[in-house]
């Protein structure tokens, strides 16, 4: 005995197609089909969403734009860290009484003004005693000047317990290193001077 051929089932309304639509399977004659255009009989998962390629393109474009915009910020942050490292090395050199190494962190302009280590140390001992012998120190605000130099505040506790703010002017040298181009020393903590 042969099984009868049945009309296809509509995936939307779950009714069998009428005999009139048996020649065009997948077209529903049910009233619910009025809300839908001619629907196919394939699973919804095989349909490819059209918005995914556009979303991927938009995400890639935004990632490139963000990387392009953040690159100068990363460079500025790296420069500030390099300048802080030089200041730390100079302060640690002063504490270790390695004055020759401390003099090495001075910019070329400072070395022109004080061409000898003795002249440099005489200037430091006369006017920058809290920098020469810091008890404790911590970094404050940093800012970049229009000429490219970095201004870095360093909060210093002197050996006598007094607080000072040393404003370091850092200059990028021709060899790509940061060096101390000047220090402005003020009594008191930053924001209170």
Residue 108's pLDDT is: 94
Rounded to a whole number, what is the distance in angstroms from the first to the last CA of the chain?
105
pLDDT at residue 165 is higher than 90: yes
In this structure, of 111-115, 137-141, 189-193, the range with the lowest mean pLDDT score is 189-193
Mean pLDDT within 184-189: 88
Inter-CA distances, 121 with 50, 73, 103, 110, 157, Å: 72, 36, 8, 12, 20
Answer left, alpha or beta for residue 26, where phi above 0 means left and psi between -120 and 50 means alpha.
left
| Portions of the chain given CATH number 3.10.450.50 | 70-187
Structure tokens at 76: 């500025």
| Closest alpha carbon to 135 in 108, 164, 109, 111 | 164
Burial class (CB in 10 A: 0-12, 13-18, 19+), 164: buried
Structure letter (DSSP) for residue 31: G
pLDDT tens for each residue of 6-44:
666 665 556 665 554 545 555 555 554 444 444 444 555
Structure letter (DSSP) for residue 158: -
Residue 34's pLDDT is: 46
pLDDT at residue 154 is higher than 60: yes
Residue 62's pLDDT is: 72
Give 192's pLDDT tier (boundaries 50, 70, 90): very low
Q: What is the CATH number assigned to the segment(s) 70-187?
A: 3.10.450.50
Give 193's pLDDT tier (boundaries 50, 70, 90): very low
The pTM of the full predicted model, rounded to 2 decimals, is 0.61
Mean pLDDT within 155-169: 92
Give 85's pLDDT tier (boundaries 50, 70, 90): very high
Structure tokens at 181: 């181009």
């Amino acid at each position: 005995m042969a099984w009868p051929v049945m009309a296809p089932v509509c995936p939307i309304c779950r009714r069998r197609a009428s005999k009139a639509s048996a020649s065009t399977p997948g077209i529903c004659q049910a009233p619910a089909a009025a809300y839908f255009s001619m629907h196919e009989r394939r699973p919804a998962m095989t349909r490819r969403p059209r918005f995914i390629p556009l979303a991927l393109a938009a995400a890639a474009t935004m990632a490139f734009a963000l990387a392009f915009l953040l690159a100068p910020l990363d460079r500025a942050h790296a420069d500030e860290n390099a300048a802080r490292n030089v200041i730390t090395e100079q302060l640690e050199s002063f504490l270790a009484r390695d004055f020759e190494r401390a003099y090495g962190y001075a910019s070329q302009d400072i070395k022109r003004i004080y061409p000898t280590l003795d002249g440099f140390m005489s200037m430091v001992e006369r006017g920058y005693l809290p920098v020469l012998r810091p008890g404790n120190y911590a970094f404050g605000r940093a800012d970049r000047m229009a000429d490219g130099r970095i201004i870095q505040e360093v909060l210093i506790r002197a050996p006598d317990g007094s607080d000072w703010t040393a404003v370091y002017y850092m200059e990028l040298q021709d060899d790509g290193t940061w060096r101390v181009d000047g220090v402005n020393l003020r009594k008191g903590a930053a924001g209170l001077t």
